[in-house]
Structure 1
Amino acid sequence: MAAVIVRRGLAGLSGAAFGAVAQVVLVIVVTRTYPAAEAGAFFTATALALMAAGIAKLDAGNGLIYFIARARSYDYRGISGYIRAAVLPCLVVAVAAGIMLFPRLGPAAGLLPVIVAADVLLAAGRGFGSVRPTVLLDGLLVPGGQLVLVSAAALAGAGGWWLLPAWAAPYVPVLVVAALWLRRRVEWTPYLPGTARDLWRHTAPRSLAGAIQAVFQRVDIVIVALLAGPAPAAVYTAATRVKVVGQLANQGLAQAVQAGLVRALADGERERARELYQAATAWLVVLTWPLWLAYAGLAPWLLRVFGPAYGAAAPIALVLAATMMVATACGMVDVVLTAAGHTGISLLNLLAAIACTVLLDLALIPAYGALGAVAGWSGGMLVKNLLPLWQLHRRYGLHPFGRHTLPALRGSLPRRSA
């Protein structure tokens, strides 16, 4: 079991590592090329686009993973109906979001449906237990393409209006390839009655939670821009961009074990679920804590890479690093909670987290700017992780660390020959 987690997890983490580095380099390119106000406007616009896409996804991808992972080979014939039932409502919401945000996003607003559909189809692939399409397309092609196209636009002297289409364009080939991969894997069958009802009965509570999660991840950038201006938003984005490393690492491991967790909890195999959770948490801590410690210690020098004025944001980095160490030590608590079917509880947890973030932001940003924003994000992040951690302990006796932790790490090490 540990070997499977390590193999699939490392595949996901390889994409996560590349994506994180590409995103950081992209921020460096933008902050070094454009004034802080213009860079902040670009970062705010991309945050709005990703928030809108996150809302429009309706968490249909996780719903597909749940139903595909629980299916057996004899009922795979109905999978195409689940995919259609998942994609169509998301496209409707994405088109509406694109129309509303066109004044702010320009031509990039037209690509919101592409971003949403690509994410849902990649999730369907993970439901079959395959993380390769997600790693290659979402982990490598998207961030790599964004870095190349945005850098080319910046070198060509393009204004901020054209940076957004360059940033969104890589999702087009992702959608095409993901659709072709599924077309080869899934038999196209007539729509079975009740498919949409079953899918959305499970997914609807999580749809709101997914929207709140999308807002939670990026609302701080938008609030900083609104309350303090685009220049502080650029400083805040640069200082906190490294948090995508932890988020993508968590995402990479979650993609590797999510389908297994769903099966284990559906079959009542609590010990197997505990093993998956503890092994993934151990690897998340081992792989990310050295990064957070290094970032906290070297932040005053590292932040100057974005520009001389960005070095003063070192206190933001300290708060970020400490918070992410606590969050990674909790493991992928929300993934475990939703895999167990508690989508309603997950929704309440996210509501509490975003309420904490927004209240702290409104109270602290006017006085402390970007530092107040990271304090608000930190409060919400702690609520988001510690609350479900307590719930898992109370309901299932699950802990992020335990007797499976060391065997998971030892099982991945090369064995010495006798």
Structure 2
Amino acid sequence: MRDERLARSGLLSLIGSAASALSALVIAVIIGNALGAYGTGLFFQAVGFFTIASQVLRLGTNSSLVRTISEHQAFDRRGETWRVLLIAVVPVAFLGILAGALVWVFSEPLANWLASPGESARLRPFLELMAPFISVGALLAVLQIASRMVNGISAYTFVHTIVYPTVRLVAVSVVVYAAGTAFAAFGAWLAVIPLWVLVSVGLLVSPLRQDWRRRSEAVEPLGDAGRRFWRFSATRAVGGSLEILLEWTDVLIVAAIASPAEAGIYAVVTRTVRAGQVVDRAMRLAVSPRISRHLAKGELAETRELHTTVTRAMVLVSWPYYLTLAIMGPSVLLLFGTEFEDGAVPLLILSLTMLVTSSAGMLQSIILQGGRSSWQVLNKSIVLATSVALNLALVPLMGIVGAAITWAVVGLTDTCIAAWQVHRRMGVWLRPRPLLPAMLTAAAAFGVGMGIVRLTLGTSPGALVVGLAAVGLVYAGALWLLRGRLGIVALWKEFPVLGRFA
């Protein structure tokens, strides 16, 4: 039953992640068509800076909350969850308020630093607008994780990964078509955050009140609990900050060096590619606890087998998406507006890179669950420094193509380092050969199939729809016929709940 519950959690996470990613893509489509590349660039430049600030200010509490509350639940230690949340919330809220005040006070020099020449006056109002929301955004991130642990995965998925992005989508859509400015659209994007803080608090009040009533005298002193909590958070705070910086610094550098219009095109390209990572995130949630169990027992062969099975599934799901982006890129970008066709070459580069990195599976999860979080911090530090250096060197010369080349170098470097560490230093040997049937099947269906569609029907949105329908049908048939050879049956055995949806 434990594996079935785990699979159900992974399936719910996949549904929620897919809904969230779809909402984000639809927002990009609406912004692109309503505001053009320039307005889209301003919007995502502001979103990128706000996301970095608010997510860094989580201070690694997401991992600590999961670890600490899970420990309390495992040992039936009641009456301590409310204290853990208090320990997490107070420093995050305080530092968030301080950071927001600093952004407000130094909005002018920040705008001069972040904006391309002549654009700082346009960016400054965005910084002033976001300043009071930074602490609220950081607080929401903490409350969402607490809700996941206290209210359960089903409630968390529905409220925070389906309803929340949908409400934001509606708000941005209404405002952008009514006002027609990037500033108004960003205001609507921000306005949902305090509303969802209230929703999160409402969800937490009852279970935390019950937890408070169960408190006892035989608990760890608050000071000791706080020190233990923040010791664990420190490493994850650094690692999480590096990850969010990696996700957004390229967009900010393009905006600062090139122009908001190029930043808008590049932001649309990167958001489109990142939407394919929903499968990776869902698989991590479903499989990471099992990987942790195997590694704790020294079961390297079992870890390798599980990783191979899951990676094969990831290839079967993600490769069709990335191959479609690589081959039918102009069709996809036309959905955002005609100006965005200029992103076809960067989209090709990023999509081909993701074919490689997605084939490596969950290397980062193995490193983290194996207790090597310091390795990940070092890895992310190296690739972030590489990203900043290459972007500063290539963007002035090549524009967004230079940013895409940097993405490719950084992604492949990160994957190669992690693969070496997992394979050689941890002893979890990687097995690329069992992945070949999945790769060949996806490449034959979507690589060849979408290639024929492009040659015969062109790159219009209509051709994209027809191609996806025809090739998708062929691919579904191939997966069914080859379900044993492709390891799909083995995946069903690993996670029996998936068989109900097959």
TM-score (norm 2): 0.75
Partner of 1:229: 259
Match of 1:335 among 365, 372, 376: 365
Partner of 2:330: 300
Bigger drift between 113-122 and 262-271 goes to 262-271
Residues 2 and 279, structure 1, Cα contact 8 Å, conserved in 2: no
Deviation string 1:164-207 (CA, Å, 9 cap, x unpaired) is 22112233343333334444445124763411111121221221
Report how far residue 4 of structure 1 moved.
4.3
Question: What amino acid is aligned across from residue 176 of structure 2 in structure 1?
Answer: A
Match of 1:92 among 91, 94, 97: 94
Question: What amino acid is aligned across from residue 326 of structure 2 in structure 1?
Answer: A
Residues 122 and 133, structure 1, Cα contact 8 Å, conserved in 2: no
Question: What amino acid is aligned across from residue 21 of structure 1 in structure 2?
Answer: L
Q: Does 1:60 align with 2:78?
A: no
Partner of 1:163: 185
Question: What amino acid is aligned across from residue 388 of structure 2 in structure 1?
Answer: V
Distance in 2 (CA, whole Å) between partners of 1:272 and 1:132 is 29
Q: Does 1:132 align with 2:134?
A: no
- Say if 1:73 and 1:46 are closer, same or farther in 2 by CA, change over 3 A: same
Deviation string 1:6-35 (CA, Å, 9 cap, x unpaired) is 422221111122222221111111111114
Deviation string 1:307-350 (CA, Å, 9 cap, x unpaired) is 22221321111111111122222223223322332222111011
Partner of 2:405: 375
Distance in 2 (CA, whole Å) between partners of 1:341 and 1:358 is 28
Q: Does 1:113 align with 2:113?
A: no
Gaps of 5+ in 2: 108-125, 436-485
| DSSP 3-state at the match of 1:241 | helix
Deviation string 1:58-111 (CA, Å, 9 cap, x unpaired) is 121012212233442332433332222222222222222222334443333322
Match of 1:176 among 198, 202, 205: 198
Q: Percent identity?
A: 27
Report how far residue 376 of structure 1 moved.
1.1
Residues 153 and 162, structure 1, Cα contact 8 Å, conserved in 2: yes
Residues 60 and 236, structure 2, Cα contact 8 Å, conserved in 1: yes
Distance in 2 (CA, whole Å) between partners of 1:86 and 1:267 is 31
Partner of 2:463: none
Match of 1:151 among 173, 191, 196: 173
Question: What amino acid is aligned across from residue 95 of structure 1 in structure 2?
Answer: I
Distance in 2 (CA, whole Å) between partners of 1:27 and 1:202 is 36
Bigger drift between 272-281 and 87-96 goes to 272-281
Residues 304 and 311, structure 1, Cα contact 8 Å, conserved in 2: yes
Report how far residue 265 of structure 1 moved.
4.5
Report how far residue 397 of structure 1 moved.
2.6
Partner of 2:380: 350
Partner of 2:16: 15
Match of 1:318 among 332, 348, 354: 348
Residues 122 and 178, structure 1, Cα contact 8 Å, conserved in 2: yes
Question: What amino acid is aligned across from residue 200 of structure 2 in structure 1?
Answer: A
Q: Computing the radius of gyration over CA atoms, which structure comes out larger, 1 or 2?
A: 2
Bigger drift between 232-241 and 73-82 goes to 73-82
Distance in 1 (CA, whole Å) between partners of 2:86 and 2:299 is 31
TM-score (norm 1): 0.89
Partner of 1:27: 28
Question: What amino acid is aligned across from residue 81 of structure 2 in structure 1?
Answer: I
Question: What amino acid is aligned across from residue 49 of structure 2 in structure 1?
Answer: L
Aligned-residue CA RMSD (Å): 2.8
Q: Does 1:196 align with 2:278?
A: no
Match of 1:361 among 374, 391, 399: 391
Report how far residue 272 of structure 1 moved.
6.2
Distance in 1 (CA, whole Å) between partners of 2:389 and 2:49 is 20
Equivalent residue runs for 1:233-272 within 5 Å = 233-262=263-292, 265=295
Question: What amino acid is aligned across from residue 136 of structure 1 in structure 2?
Answer: F
Gaps of 5+ in 1: none
Distance in 2 (CA, whole Å) between partners of 1:76 and 1:287 is 41
Deviation string 1:194-249 (CA, Å, 9 cap, x unpaired) is 11111121221221111111111111100000010101001111222212313333
Report how far residue 408 of structure 1 moved.
4.2
Distance in 2 (CA, whole Å) between partners of 1:296 and 1:367 is 24
Distance in 2 (CA, whole Å) between partners of 1:248 and 1:112 is 26
Report how far residue 135 of structure 1 moved.
1.9
Bigger drift between 250-259 and 40-49 goes to 250-259
Report how far residue 143 of structure 1 moved.
2.0
Residues 39 and 234, structure 1, Cα contact 8 Å, conserved in 2: yes
Residues 265 and 342, structure 2, Cα contact 8 Å, conserved in 1: no
Report how far residue 273 of structure 1 moved.
5.1
**How many aligned positions are there?**
415
| DSSP 3-state at the match of 1:99 | helix
Residues 55 and 141, structure 2, Cα contact 8 Å, conserved in 1: no
Report how far residue 394 of structure 1 moved.
2.7
